[in-house]
């Protein structure tokens, strides 16, 4: 790079840094730029205290009941000594809620701060606060049955190590994955090894469709989901009163090393009875509830019901803000109703998140309210869209009746009535609201420029936004300022005031993901998008269990269609250690793949091991390694192979969201 260009780039960098450091006039900011709560935010959060019975301490009694031991310095690090889990970072969460946090969310954060090893009932233990989810230990006749081994190898290893320090030493004889989300299987290699499972005949039990769903959700849409998850879980935010305080469902996901082991037994019907190490389990198969593949179970001898994640101490997501297929509220409610019929005699309730409930009357009241929450959400959304209301109109007016919304376990700490009603609408009618003006709208930047012009220019729009902000009309201020930023992303004042608006919206949010989304938006307006995106190496052990065809599906959605127009190429992948061959064909600017026979011709053929293929995908094997590797052999045209690989995008998962 020549000197003038270098100096110009350096000057631009200084200008960007200076604009990031600008504070909103009159609003005190912390070290990360987050402004202090305004008087309007203080009033809004104070009003929440009058709406709910904060004197009710039953949840705190339940969350501390049966505590055996606690690790006050609970941390986990990966092989590079990077922090994967840090409970002491949440030590700032005291009894009294600060003005910058919705007091209802603060209450949930306090409950989720209670961590350690707990005895739930005779023969059942839980490790809570070691990850977003819980690890449950059930005593069998000869060993331990582990339910849900957390998200990451590091947190699972820390949890099982702590349990072994305080419980009778026993081998792990079985593992149950309650469902296909990674926080319920990703830590399995912190507890077991694939060699040990085979050698010791350890049973791994999972719901029907588990492997398909566990390996598919994040492969095709992985870069976008991972980027959005940074907003949903506040990954970049400081753990502080003006930053991330909780995720509603737990403290936060653990960003460590993820693994997967294939089940040895499948639950595919209801009720399905299995004897596991001398213990009778009655399973409920609940596909398409909170996860595409999910189960719950009941232990008759203990009258203990594990609701997995079909029920929890918050309203759950029908649509998750990181992005996923919408969930069926009616079906979800139906599974809870089925649980009541099947396991209505339960005296102990426990789940994959949060704390247990004891007593048959309390458990059934909890299940009925959870059931009716999803049913009401479904039925009333459908009623309203059949009257012609659009998603935004429904979200603005739908709310639970008093009989449901005054219970803390139904509060929107994770899902909300507003975005869940949109999910019901989407499930039936899709994204289009029926208004022709919304059928083919202009893209955001073009829309923004025209709105700014219509407003009389950037300065006039900014004046209107400042007026809205001073009036505590933060949603409208954000609407106006979002147009200002998309019309002119270099306008530091617009970015600063938009960030301040997001701060106040975040401080008032009862939903932890909403808070993290708003505050992450504010953070990125001040500091820019992350420099590091998706780290596929974290998924290496999961990728090894993923069918090869799934990766070719992922390649197909990364093919740059315009670049591939007019190109016709065939490339064969031969996996020498698997005995499998696949023919990939590019034509009509699309990629197809199919199993191949030895006599099928191709422009180029790659013969390689599955291990080398995985290392290529995770970036651990670069060009030099590939050229020198004995595990790789090339036949046919090198030029065709180079052209083939040049046609694929390489998404990094760090695209802009709050700026164009």
Report how far residue 384's alpha carbon sits from residue 392's, in angstroms, rounded to the nearest whole number: 11
Mean pLDDT of 490-515: 97
* Model confidence at 18: pLDDT above 50: no
- Residue 138: per-residue pLDDT: 98
- Residue 160: per-residue pLDDT: 98
Strand pairing of 348-350 and 357-358?
antiparallel
Per-chain mean pLDDT for the chain: 92
- What six digits make up the tokens of 12? 């631009």
- Residue 324: per-residue pLDDT: 86
What are the extents of the domains in the chain?
A: 43-429, 548-646
* Model confidence at 227: pLDDT above 50: yes
User: Worst-scoring range by mean pLDDT, 32-36, 185-189, 240-244, 389-393?
Assistant: 32-36
- Residue 340: per-residue pLDDT: 98
| Helices and strands (DSSP H and E) totals, the chain | 24, 21
* Model confidence at 546: pLDDT above 90: no
Which of 372, 342, 195 is closest to 271 using CA atoms? 342
Report how far residue 586's alpha carbon sits from residue 215's, in angstroms, rounded to the nearest whole number: 25
Sign of torsion, CA 379 382 386 389?
positive
Report how far residue 99's alpha carbon sits from residue 602's, in angstroms, rounded to the nearest whole number: 66
- Residue 624: per-residue pLDDT: 65
User: Worst-scoring range by mean pLDDT, 22-31, 361-370, 446-455?
Assistant: 22-31
Please name the residues in contact with 135: beta carbons below 8 A apart, sequence gap of 6 or more. 126, 127, 146, 147, 148, 149, 150, 156, 159, 160, 163, 187
- Residue 627: per-residue pLDDT: 63
* Model confidence at 620: pLDDT above 60: yes
Which of 309, 410, 304 is closest to 349 using CA atoms? 304
Please indicate whether residue 542 or residue 536 has the higher confidence score (pLDDT): 542
CATH superfamily for 548-646 is SCP2 sterol-binding domain (3.30.1050.10)
Please indicate whether residue 266 or residue 529 has the higher confidence score (pLDDT): 266
Query: Could you say which of 3.30.1330.10, 3.60.15.30, 3.30.930.10, 2.40.110.10 is the CATH number of the domain covering 43-429?
Result: 3.60.15.30
Report how far residue 140's alpha carbon sits from residue 316's, in angstroms, rounded to the nearest whole number: 32
- Residue 253: per-residue pLDDT: 93
Q: CA angle, 561 as apex, 560 and 562 as ends, to 5°?
A: 100
Please name the residues in contact with 304: beta carbons below 8 A apart, sequence gap of 6 or more. 120, 121, 124, 298, 346, 347, 348, 349, 350
Provide DSSP, 293-313: SBEEEEETTTTEEE-TTTS-S
* Helix (H/G/I), strand (E/B), else coil: 571: strand
- Residue 467: per-residue pLDDT: 97
* Model confidence at 13: pLDDT above 70: no
Report how far residue 116's alpha carbon sits from residue 585's, in angstroms, rounded to the nearest whole number: 53
Secondary element (H or E) of residue 357: strand 357-358
Strands (E), 520-631: 569-575, 580-587, 590-595, 604-608
Q: What is the number of residues in the chain?
A: 660
Mean pLDDT of 349-354: 98
Neighbours of 454 (CB within 10 A): 11
pLDDT category of residue 613 using cuts at 50, 70 and 90: confident
Buried b (16+ CB within 10 A) or exposed e, 482-505: bbbbbbbbebbbbbbbbbbbbbbb
pLDDT tens track for 116-142: 999 999 999 999 999 999 999 999 999
Query: For the chain, first and last CA: distance in Å?
Result: 27
- Residue 177: per-residue pLDDT: 98
List Cα–Cα distances, 77 to 85, 251, 499, in angstroms. 7, 17, 32
Report how far residue 405's alpha carbon sits from residue 315's, in angstroms, rounded to the nearest whole number: 10
What's the 3-state SS for 208-236? CCHHHHHHHHHHHCHHHHHHHHHHHCCCC
Please name the residues in contact with 435: beta carbons below 8 A apart, sequence gap of 6 or more. 390
Neighbours of 595 (CB within 10 A): 11
- What six digits make up the tokens of 543? 């990728």
- Residue 468: per-residue pLDDT: 98
pLDDT tens track for 411-463: 999 999 999 999 999 999 999 999 999 999 999 999 999 999 999 999 999 99
Residue 644 region by backbone torsions, left for phi larger than 0, else alpha for psi between -120 and 50, else beta: alpha
pLDDT category of residue 623 using cuts at 50, 70 and 90: low
Which of 520, 480, 529 is closest to 655 using CA atoms? 529
Burial (CB count within 10 angstroms: exposed 0-12, middle 13-18, buried 19+), residue 256: buried
Strand pairing of 124-128 and 116-121?
antiparallel
Please name the residues in contact with 118: beta carbons below 8 A apart, sequence gap of 6 or more. 65, 66, 67, 68, 125, 126, 127, 128
Please indicate whether residue 215 or residue 269 has the higher confidence score (pLDDT): 269
pLDDT tens track for 186-196: 999 999 999 99
pLDDT tens track for 58-106: 999 999 999 999 999 999 999 999 999 999 999 999 999 999 999 999 9
Secondary element (H or E) of residue 523: helix 512-527
pTM of the entire predicted model: 0.91
Report how far residue 188's alpha carbon sits from residue 156's, in angstroms, rounded to the nearest whole number: 7
- What six digits make up the tokens of 539? 């998924």
CB of 93 within 8 A of CB of 86? Answer: no
φ, ψ for residue 98, nearest 5 deg: -75, 165
Provide DSSP, 416-468: -HHHHHHHHHHHHH-S--S-GGGTSPPPHHHHHHHHHHHHTSHHHHHHHHHHH
User: Worst-scoring range by mean pLDDT, 137-141, 217-221, 552-556?
Assistant: 217-221
Please name the residues in contact with 527: beta carbons below 8 A apart, sequence gap of 6 or more. 20, 32, 33
**Any alpha helices (H) in 221-359, and if so which ranges?**
222-232, 329-343
pLDDT category of residue 154 using cuts at 50, 70 and 90: very high
Report how far residue 113's alpha carbon sits from residue 354's, in angstroms, rounded to the nearest whole number: 10
* Helix (H/G/I), strand (E/B), else coil: 192: coil
pLDDT category of residue 614 using cuts at 50, 70 and 90: confident
* Helix (H/G/I), strand (E/B), else coil: 26: coil
């Amino acid at each position: 790079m020549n000197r003038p260009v270098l100096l110009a780039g350096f000057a631009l960098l200084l200008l960007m840094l200076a604009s990031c450091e600008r504070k909103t006039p009159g609003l005190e900011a912390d070290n990360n730029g987050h402004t202090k709560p305004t008087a309007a935010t203080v009033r809004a959060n104070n009003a929440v205290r009058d709406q709910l019975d904060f004197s009710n301490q039953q949840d705190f009694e339940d969350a501390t009941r049966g505590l055996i031991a606690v690790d006050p310095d609970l941390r986990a690090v990966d092989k590079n000594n990077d922090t994967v889990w840090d409970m002491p970072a949440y030590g700032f969460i005291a009894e009294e809620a600060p003005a910058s946090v919705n007091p209802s969310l603060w209450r949930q954060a306090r409950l989720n701060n209670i961590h350690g090893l707990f005895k739930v009932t005779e023969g059942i233990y839980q490790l809570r606060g070691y990850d977003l989810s819980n690890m449950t230990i059930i005593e069998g006749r000869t060993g331990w049955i582990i339910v849900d081994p957390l998200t990451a190898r590091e947190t699972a290893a820390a949890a099982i190590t702590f349990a072994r320090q305080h419980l009778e030493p026993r081998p792990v004889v079985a593992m149950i994955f309650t469902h296909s989300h990674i926080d319920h299987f990703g830590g399995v290699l912190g507890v077991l090894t694939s060699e040990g499972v085979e050698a010791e005949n350890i049973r791994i039990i999972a719901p029907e469709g588990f492997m398909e769903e566990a390996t598919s959700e994040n492969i095709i849409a992985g870069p976008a989901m991972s980027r959005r998850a940074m907003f949903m879980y506040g990954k970049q935010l400081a753990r502080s009163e003006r930053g991330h305080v909780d995720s509603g469902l737990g403290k936060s996901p653990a960003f460590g090393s993820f693994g997967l082991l294939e089940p040895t037994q499948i639950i595919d019907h209801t009720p399905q009875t299995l004897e596991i190490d001398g213990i009778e389990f009655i399973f409920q198969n609940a596909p398409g509830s909170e996860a595409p593949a999910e189960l719950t179970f009941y232990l008759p001898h203990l009258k203990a019901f594990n609701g997995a994640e079909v029920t929890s101490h918050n309203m759950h997501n029908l649509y998750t803000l990181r992005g996923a297929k919408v969930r069926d509220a009616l079906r979800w409610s139906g599974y809870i109703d089925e649980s009541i019929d099947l396991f209505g005699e339960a005296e102990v309730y426990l789940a994959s998140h949060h704390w247990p409930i004891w007593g048959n009357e309390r458990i059934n009241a909890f299940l009925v309210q959870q059931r009716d929450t999803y049913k009401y959400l479904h039925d009333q959304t459908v009623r309203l869209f059949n009257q012609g209301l659009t998603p935004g109109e429904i979200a603005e007016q739908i709310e639970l009746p008093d009989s449901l919304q005054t219970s803390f376990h139904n509060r929107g700490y994770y899902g909300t009535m507003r975005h869940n009603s949109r999910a019901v609408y989407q499930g039936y009618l899709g994204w289009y609201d029926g208004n022709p003006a919304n059928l083919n709208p202009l893209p955001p930047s073009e829309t923004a420029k025209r709105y700014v012009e219509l407003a009389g220019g950037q300065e006039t729009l900014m004046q209107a936004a400042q007026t809205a902000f001073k009036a505590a009309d933060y949603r409208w201020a954000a609407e106006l300022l979002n147009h200002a930023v998309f019309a002119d992303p270099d306008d530091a004042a617009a970015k600063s005031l938009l960030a301040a608006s997001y701060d106040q919206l975040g401080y008032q949010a009862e939903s932890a993901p909403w808070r993290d989304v708003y505050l992450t938006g504010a953070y990125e307006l001040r500091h820019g998008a992350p420099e590091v995106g998706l780290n596929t190496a974290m998924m290496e052990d999961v990728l090894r269990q993923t069918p090869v065809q799934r990766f070719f599906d992922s390649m197909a959605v990364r093919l740059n269609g315009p670049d591939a127009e007019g190109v016709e190429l065939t490339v064969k992948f031969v996996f020498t250690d698997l005995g499998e061959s696949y023919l990939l064909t590019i034509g009509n600017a699309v990629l197809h793949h199919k199993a191949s026979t030895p006599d099928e011709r191709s422009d180029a053929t790659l013969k390689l091991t599955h291990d080398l293929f995985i290392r290529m995908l995770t970036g651990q094997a670069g060009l030099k390694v590939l050229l020198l590797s004995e595990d790789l052999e090339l036949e046919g045209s090198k030029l065709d192979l180079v052209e083939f690989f040049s046609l694929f995008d390489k998404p990094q998962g760090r695209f802009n969201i709050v700026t164009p």
